[in-house]
Amino acid sequence: MPAFAKRMSQVRRSFIREILKVTADPSIISFAGGLPKPDLFPTGPIADAAARVLAENGPAALQYSVTEGEPALRQWIADRYKKKRGLDIDPATILITNGSQQSLDLLGKVFLDPGDVVGVELPGYIGAIQAFSVFEPTFAGVPLGPEGPDIDRLTDVLTRQRAKMFYAVPNFQNPSGLTYSLAARRAVSEAMRVSDAVFVEDDPYGELRFMGEALPPVSAFMTQDRYLLGTFSKIAAPGLRLGWVVADPDSLPKLVTAKQASDLHCSTLVQRILVQYLADNDLDAHIATIKAAYGAQRDLMVERIKAEFPEGVAYTEPEGGMFLWVTLPEGCSAFALFDLCIKEKVAFVPGEPFFVDGSGQRTMRLNFSNAEPERIVEGIRRMGRAIEKLLET
Ligand code: PMP
């Protein structure tokens, strides 16, 4: 074995990616993935946009470009914040990244030294835990409830444990599907205001709301030390690998330097294709189509869970996004259920890897965005049977 750097020793392979290998078998009904529905990708319009970009200004699209990102794309993002959220964002504070995953990596690089405390939700997004782990922090879990994070615990993590960062997904969280209430958003911004920590708000699902009222980002209540992450992965296509960070104006140059050191800049060609696609198409209409499909699948999954899962099993009823969260009765193990379910040819992700404190044994994540309705009906039926078997043992 070569002598790998110490920093890699804490970094776990993504557990979900390991599960996806098991569920690659097409006979397994899988609620384990976290993928958008591929039939909804705008393949034709992207092909048209690509042809136009190459025909009209091919050489410039194939040239190196600036690290901050294509000016037209940064402007489009700022305009959309204004139009959809009423937020005034200066395009000069936006850095285009290779998806939110790179935004997380850059924020880790810029802010985290070994041993720094990072507050994360319990459960928390596993990709962020993995991205930050490279920088050898200590994670402090902040339990998440139906209204938002436990504010007393957050305050303790920020003040007594002197956290350097709090990372949160306030809309239709991955993995739980939970959304912070307006009061929780204000309370989080207040807790952040009186601490020295930076707030990292990851919002890949905010535009995928099927019901209820849209709420402002927590960052809207803050004036400094907040980083708001967005992505085109869930509203256009993840293969584009384009996302962004709205940064504190003073910190943008540091993030730009970190990105330069990593990859110079995002693909000029892909950014220009996306700008052309956004100019020539109605993104709102496209998002409406996605929401109609995911919303119907979410309704069906909730309805079937109500009908098929035994008494005592709790579940979230998300108002948007791609995930639903199930909690088994006291004493049950989601890993034991996973083994039973694989025998029944149905899969999900056990919740424990999402908990930095090692708890969550009774929990699991189900994805509804990438499952056909007939498979939702059959898959939930099989899961219900497996849970009954588990409860009998
Ligand atoms: N953050 C969260 C909360 C996510 O669920 C995902 C996608 N699974 C990402 C970030 C990564 O998204 P991207 O494709 O933009 O890197």
- Are both 160 and 37 inside the same structural domain? no
3-state secondary structure of 363: strand
CB contact burial 32-55 (16+ within 10 A = b; e otherwise): bbbebbeebbbeebbebbbebbee
Residue 196's φ and ψ, nearest 5 degrees, are -95, 0
Segments forming the whole domain that contains residue 33: 6-41+285-392
Specify if 1 maps to a domain: no
- Are both 24 and 82 inside the same structural domain? no
The answer to whether 67 touches 264, Cβ cutoff 8 Å, is yes
**DSSP state at residue 249:** T
pLDDT, one tens digit per residue, over 349-378 is 999 999 999 999 999 999 999 989 999 999
97 lines ligand 1 (CB under 6 A): no
- Are both 62 and 203 inside the same structural domain? yes
Q: Nearest C-alpha to atom 12 of ligand 1 is from which residue?
A: 100
- Are both 235 and 307 inside the same structural domain? no
- Are both 30 and 55 inside the same structural domain? no
Residue 103's pLDDT is what?
98
Mean pLDDT over 77-82 rounds to: 97
350 lines ligand 1 (CB under 6 A): no
- Are both 176 and 261 inside the same structural domain? yes
Cα(231) to centroid(ligand 1), Å: 8
- Are both 95 and 236 inside the same structural domain? yes
- Are both 50 and 167 inside the same structural domain? yes
Cα(17) to centroid(ligand 1), Å: 14
Pocket test for ligand 1, best of 126, 174, 229 (most atoms within 8 A of CB): 174
- ipTM at complex level: 0.99
125 lines ligand 1 (CB under 6 A): yes
174 lines ligand 1 (CB under 6 A): yes
- Are both 357 and 370 inside the same structural domain? yes
At position 328, the amino acid (one-letter code) is: L
pLDDT, one tens digit per residue, over 281-312 is 999 999 999 999 999 999 999 999 999 999 99
142 lines ligand 1 (CB under 6 A): no
Pocket test for ligand 1, best of 15, 35, 101, 228 (most atoms within 8 A of CB): 101
- Are both 268 and 356 inside the same structural domain? no
Specify if 138 maps to a domain: yes
Q: Specify the number of domains making up the chain.
A: 2
101 lines ligand 1 (CB under 6 A): yes
CATH of the domain at 48: 3.40.640.10
- Of 280, 307, 328, which one is at a domain's C-terminal end? 280
Cα(393) to centroid(ligand 1), Å: 37
pLDDT, one tens digit per residue, over 42-55 is 999 999 999 999 99
Specify if 226 maps to a domain: yes
Residue 184's φ and ψ, nearest 5 degrees, are -65, -35
pLDDT, one tens digit per residue, over 12-34 is 777 677 777 777 788 999 999 88
238 lines ligand 1 (CB under 6 A): yes
45 lines ligand 1 (CB under 6 A): no
**DSSP state at residue 26:** T
CATH of the domain at 32: 3.90.1150.10
pLDDT, one tens digit per residue, over 103-162 is 999 999 999 999 999 999 999 999 999 999 999 999 999 999 999 999 999 999 999 999
- Transcribe 197-234 into DSSP letters: -EEEEE-SSTT-B-SS-----GGGG-SSSEEEEEESTT
**Alpha helices (H) along the chain:** 15-22, 43-61, 71-80, 100-111, 126-133, 151-159, 182-193, 252-263, 268-280, 283-308, 334-343, 373-392
**What do you get for the CA distance between the two ends of the chain, in Å?**
43
pLDDT, one tens digit per residue, over 314-323 is 999 999 999 9
Rounded CA-CA distance 223/275 in Å is: 29
Rounded CA-CA distance 73/182 in Å is: 30
β-bridge partners, 227: 200
- Of 280, 298, 319, which one is at a domain's C-terminal end? 280
Best CA proximity match to 367, nearest among 383, 389, 391, 356: 383
Residue 6's pLDDT is what?
84
Specify if 150 maps to a domain: yes
Give the global pTM: 0.96
Cα(232) to centroid(ligand 1), Å: 10
- Of 261, 280, 299, which one is at a domain's C-terminal end? 280
Rounded CA-CA distance 235/41 in Å is: 9
- Are both 14 and 75 inside the same structural domain? no
